[in-house]
Amino acid sequence: MSIEVRHLTHVYGEGSVLRTVALEDISFTVREGEFVGIVGHTGSGKSTLVQHLNGLLKPSSGQVLVDGEDLNGDKTDRRALRRRVGLVFQYPEYQLFEETVARDIAFGPKNQGLGKEEIDRRVRRAMDWVHLDYEKYAEKSPFELSGGQMRRVAIAGVLAMEPEILILDEPTAGLDPRGRDRILSMLENLRTKENMTILMVSHSMEDMARLATRLLVISDGKLAMDGTPREIFARGDRMRAMGLDVPESARLCAALREKGYDLPADLFRPEEVKEHLLRLWKEASAC
């Protein structure tokens, strides 16, 4: 399943003094199995962009095609398409409302009109994906849980709809390192084991370095860069000019290169960096 965005433009408050162009002529295609990271500074239009991808916002002009079908076409069943494109909002824990965790997760599948057994199966599976023990948590109130657990319940609520594409808007914001690590490894599993296509909005270049196979850089509502993390992190100067940064590992390499050390320009994965540094160290001590 693929998503294609064609010349997407979104204008807020058209025809009033508050008119602002949030997105301008954005085009890209997400292919099946990709892990696409969307980066951009605050207010660059990332959240507006992801809300277009499952039809919650309508483009002012341009198209969003899901498997070739126009998301905003007259005959399109938007609710059906929304099932296939799951969207996890920023701070999703604030959308929880049911009395028990299991019932909250079942909200999506129930709206899909599934049978009781199927719903139950999906709730168990979704809880398993987000590492919440069914026996222990299913009957608890979601409001008794910790922030990190609540967030995982909310993500499970979207996963229970078994979307083919999962979009997450800053899933790790405000979590402690352990909570963040849990969510990231969960996403990694979903992609590698369930072959889910994932789009993730994040500020954290470290998260992106770890997971993304491709990065889209949004700046002032425009698509500024589109490429592999390797290509993009090699352009630290350009990223900084847009108020963004590159992972610490890439920054370290750039600083060393400036001092005259022989390192390739596209290093960013911590393990790779370690190998290269050890090699340099050995060469230096051999002399």
* From candidates 44, 54, 197, 249, binder to other proteins by CB under 8 A: 54
Q: Map the footprint of other proteins across residues 114-143, applying CB under 8 A.
A: 143
Please give the DSSP secondary-structure letter assigned to residue 172. Answer: T
Site string for other proteins, 240-279 (x = CB under 8 A): ----------------------------------------
Among the listed residues 44, 87, 91, 104, the one whose alpha carbon sits nearest the alpha carbon of residue 243? 44
Euclidean distance between CA atoms 251 and 138, whole angstroms: 44
- Is residue 197 involved in binding other proteins (CB under 8 A)? no
- Of 174 and 264, nearer to other proteins (C-beta) is 174
* From candidates 37, 45, 62, 157, binder to other proteins by CB under 8 A: 157
- Of 109 and 247, nearer to other proteins (C-beta) is 109
* From candidates 46, 52, 82, 122, binder to other proteins by CB under 8 A: 82
* From candidates 29, 97, 118, 144, binder to other proteins by CB under 8 A: 97
- Of 169 and 207, nearer to other proteins (C-beta) is 169
CA distances from 204 to 106, 174, 209, 222, 243 (A): 31, 12, 9, 20, 13
- Of 39 and 155, nearer to other proteins (C-beta) is 155
Q: Map the footprint of other proteins across residues 201-230, applying CB under 8 A.
A: none
Per CB under 8 A, which region of 33-41, 59-67, 154-162, 235-243 contacts other proteins? 154-162
Please give the DSSP secondary-structure letter assigned to residue 60. Answer: S
Per CB under 8 A, which region of 106-114, 194-202, 260-268, 276-284 contacts other proteins? 106-114
- Is residue 111 involved in binding other proteins (CB under 8 A)? yes
* From candidates 59, 62, 92, 236, binder to other proteins by CB under 8 A: 92
Buried b (16+ CB within 10 A) or exposed e, 240-272: eebebbbbebbbbbbebeeeeeebeebbbbbee
Euclidean distance between CA atoms 198 and 215, whole angstroms: 12
Quick one: CA dihedral 26, 50, 242, 37, positive or negative?
negative
Euclidean distance between CA atoms 94 and 154, whole angstroms: 8
**Residue 159: exposure state from Cβ atoms within 10 A (0-12, 13-18, ≥19):** buried
Phi, psi dihedrals of residue 64, rounded to the nearest 5°: -120, 120
Per CB under 8 A, which region of 67-75, 80-88, 208-216, 235-243 contacts other proteins? 80-88
Buried b (16+ CB within 10 A) or exposed e, 201-220: bbbbbbbbbbbbebbbbbbb
- Is residue 58 involved in binding other proteins (CB under 8 A)? no
Q: Given the rule CB under 8 A, which residues bind other proteins?
A: 51, 54, 56, 79, 82-83, 86-87, 89, 92, 94-97, 107-108, 111-112, 143, 157-158, 161
